[in-house]
Amino acid sequence: MPAGKRIVVTDDNKDGADSLAELLRLKGHEAFVAYNGETAVELVARVRPDVVLLDILMPGLDGCETARKIRAGPAGQKCLIAAVTGLSRTQLQQRLDVGDFDFYFMKPVDIRALDDLLAASPSLERSPS
């Protein structure tokens, strides 16, 4: 089995975020949860994840603005950011700036496609604390 990834799951739907994070933990990953964009930005800076799964249509700081803020920090330069939304890719591209996203998942997330993404993405090298 490939090495587990450090993943931040961000969604204002708490049940959905918690369920996805728990599934990722069962698959051997280290998963952290944020329920809004502001918390996600802080969490990414602190835990320096390999991958961020980011809901787009959140109240307050939406997913696109959250991705932009994450990319502006040092941790955001090295992680993959995947949009997770109920919008189709066409709707997403028409309505929002998606330039800060590396991947796109429709809700509910196709677990096999997510497994493929996680297996293909390299883990970040971390210095000992």
Predicted confidence pLDDT, tens digits, the chain (129 residues): 457 999 999 999 999 999 999 999 999 999 999 999 999 999 999 999 999 999 998 999 999 899 999 999 999 988 999 999 887 767 766 666 667 888 889 888 999 999 999 998 776 544 333
Question: Collapsing DSSP states into helix, strand and coil, what is residue 17?
Answer: helix
Predicted structure pTM score:
0.88
How would you write 19-78 as a 3-class SS string?
HHHHHHHHCCCEEEEECCHHHHHHHHHHHCCCEEEEECCCCCCCHHHHHHHHHHCHHHHC
For each of the domains in the chain, give its residue range(s) and CATH number, in order of start: 6-120 (3.40.50.2300)
| Contact between 117 and 80 (Cβ < 8 Å) | yes
Tell me which residue has tokens 């330069």: 77
Question: Collapsing DSSP states into helix, strand and coil, what is residue 2?
Answer: coil
How would you write 74-127 as a 3-class SS string?
HHHHCCEEEEEECCCHHHHHHHCCCCCCCEEEECCCCHHHHHHHHHHCCCCCCC
